[in-house]
Amino acid sequence: MQYRLNLKRRLSAGFATGAVLMVSVAASLLATSASAQTTPMSYPTKPIRLVVPFPAGGATDIFARTLSQKLAEKIGSAVVVENKPGAGGTLGSDLVAKSPADGYTLLLATSSTHSIGPNLNPKMPYDAVRDFTPIAQVGNAPSIMLVPNSSPAKTIQEWIDYAKKNPGRLNYASSGNGTIVQLTAELFKAQAGLFVVHIPYKGTALAMPDLISGKIDVLFDSLPTGLPHVKDGRLRALGVTSAQRTSMAPGLPAISEVLPGYESNTWFGLFGPAGVRPEIVNRVNAAALQALGDPEVKDKLLRLGIEPIGTSPAQFGTMLASESAKWKKIISERKITLD
């Protein structure tokens, strides 16, 4: 009888020990699994694809290739730039939106694909907010306000006063309907309270001869293409569209000094598809900011007319919301279309 009692006690103790061991092993496996899912150390393990939704050779493409070299060094994996142009950046952006959210397909997007385009075209195949994960704003390209040498205006305020005295008699050129060039001018008109006629061209290069000759009264052009005409004495520059003065055009005032709150830039930003894990977002963000701090990268971007900008994902998201709201208002109030 005593023997049976001892045997029962031993079996009970054995089962208890086994149960504890099984629970311990299960907990260890769960912890290992959770660690594997959350640790950023396992990323990246293969090349990262950086999609540019515009043709090779353009500013966005050059930006991507400049950034990708240093980004690869900082993140520890090859970064392969892939051009997917079409429909004003829509095709490449949509490709990324529909890619796996594993951090291996990224997008270098601009204001045209994520702030302006969605407000001009309600039939976009992607939602600029819901279908993407903001990673970092990486650059701003301000414009320069150009007038002919024959213009009586020597300053921003003088041009505003001149336009107010001649409502409907002055004009501005753009690179086409719905472009950042048109929106920049319309924002200026809205804040200054002006009536100036829009004349669209197929690119600002085609408008330049008419501006120089005085047939066009004002053009908001990119710094790299506009400044050479100023330096050669063919045009007069009145100001820049960035929120503050820029080192790329020292001595020129920001338009915001005359029209408080005025700002219009072509911004550049890194995105992933919706649902990229926070630790991967932070890893890419940190590597991108380090790359942007490299003197060689800075120099190349500034020569492109782009100011390097490094923001957190949250700051980028806030900027996106603000930009979208600003352009939505202008597009709606001014009845701007792509036609």
Spatial CB neighbours of 205, under 8 Å, sequence gap ≥ 6: 225
Q: Bridge partners of 148?
A: 235
Residue ranges of the chain that CATH labels 3.40.190.150: 43-141+265-333
Spatial CB neighbours of 105, under 8 Å, sequence gap ≥ 6: 48, 49, 51, 95, 96, 99, 272, 273
CATH number for the domain running over 142-257: 3.40.190.10
Q: Bridge partners of 146?
A: 219, 237
Query: At the topology level of CATH, where does 43-141+265-333 sit?
Result: D-Maltodextrin-Binding Protein; domain 2 (3.40.190)
pLDDT at 287: 98
Residue ranges of the chain that CATH labels 3.40.190.10: 142-257
d(CA 326, CA 213): 33
Report angle CA 19, 24, 30 to the nearest 5 degrees: 125
Query: What residues in the chain have per-residue pLDDT under 50?
Result: 1-40
pLDDT at 122: 87
CB 124 within 8 A of CB 90: yes
Dihedral of CA 238/241/243/248: which sign? Answer: negative
DSSP at 80: E
DSSP at 168: T
pLDDT at 28: 41
Read off the pLDDT of residues 90-135 as tens digits, 9 standing for 90 and up: 999 999 999 999 999 999 999 999 999 999 998 999 999 999 999 9
pTM above 0.75, yes or no: yes
Read off the pLDDT of residues 198-215 as tens digits, 9 standing for 90 and up: 999 999 999 999 999 999
d(CA 193, CA 335): 16
Please state, as a whole number, how many other Cβ atoms lie within 10 Å of the Cβ of residue 11. 10
DSSP at 151: -
pLDDT at 339: 84
93, two tokens: 């952006």
pLDDT at 34: 40
Q: Let me know how many helices (H) and strands (E) the chain has, helices first.
A: 12, 10
